[in-house]
Amino acid sequence: MSTTENTTTVIVHEAINEEYEYIQFNKQLRLIRSVKDDMYQMQSILTACFAPDTKLPKDWFRNQSTQELLSEAQRVGKKPQSPKLYENREKLPNGLRGYYVHRLLVNAVAMWASPRYAWNIYRLLDEIHRQEREELENKLEAKDKSIQKRIPRSVPKGKEKNYKYMIYTEEMENEEDKDMVMLHLVRRNNKSFTTLLRFTNLTEIGSIAKTYRFQ
């Protein structure tokens, strides 16, 4: 038995034989996995999700939504070395035989097998998106505060009309960047602006009439 960790959970691996193992993601989700190709036994998915006995692995393939999903997966994965999406392994011993599906289809099978599991997946995805939105909003807020703090230092109050922004270009040294230029944004007061123009290839981009947000 071995364990691996990712950012959200601890995964437990328990060998059945050299080619198959039990893989446990949490107290409920204990699946049979084919080690060599990372495919999962459908019956173990149904069992883990407490699917009713009336739902059989072969029934999943009869759904119109399943056929559309498999068609799309086959369309996207049309490569010589593309892995199988599913396989019926009838010659395996009892407990291991049956349909196996690609790891990307595990959630699709589980959500078909159990409405409760499907609802939990929807809630999990919603929570992930909520956290991502909140994290992005916090980053934007922090950046805005940082910019606001820099404004008084960059342009003294009451002196806004005495400063100008300029851009000058610099050719890139690397051969692969020969078709690109680097732009430099510079702030100068009016007195030093004329002097600076004598020594650099500058383009005035406007005098400041009020405090600018970008510094």
User: What is the tens place of the pLDDT at every residue in 174-202?
Assistant: 777 777 777 777 666 666 666 666 655 54
Higher pLDDT, 121 or 205: 121
pLDDT digits (tens, 9 = 90+) for 128-167: 888 888 888 888 888 777 767 766 666 666 666 666 666 7
Cα distance between residue 116 and residue 112, in whole Å? 10
pLDDT at 158: 67
Q: For the chain, what is the largest distance between any 2 Cα atoms, rounded to a whole number of angstroms?
A: 88
Cα distance between residue 70 and residue 4, in whole Å? 30
Share of the chain above pLDDT 70, in %: 69
Higher pLDDT, 130 or 171: 130
| pLDDT of 4 strictly over 60 | no
- Chain centre distance of CA 56: 33
- Chain centre distance of CA 133: 13
- Domain at 2-113, CATH class: alpha beta
pLDDT at 211: 34
**What is the rounded radius of gyration, in angstroms, for the C-alpha atoms of the chain?**
30
Q: By three-state DSSP, how is residue 125 classified?
A: helix
Find the range with the poorest average confidence among 61-65, 95-99, 123-127.
123-127
Query: What burial class does residue 198 get, using C-beta atoms within 10 Å of its C-beta: 0-12 exposed, 13-18 middle, 19+ buried?
Result: exposed
pLDDT at 142: 83
Rounded alpha-carbon distances, angstroms, from residue 215 to 62, 153, 211, 212: 61, 10, 10, 7
Token readout for 91 is 């010659």
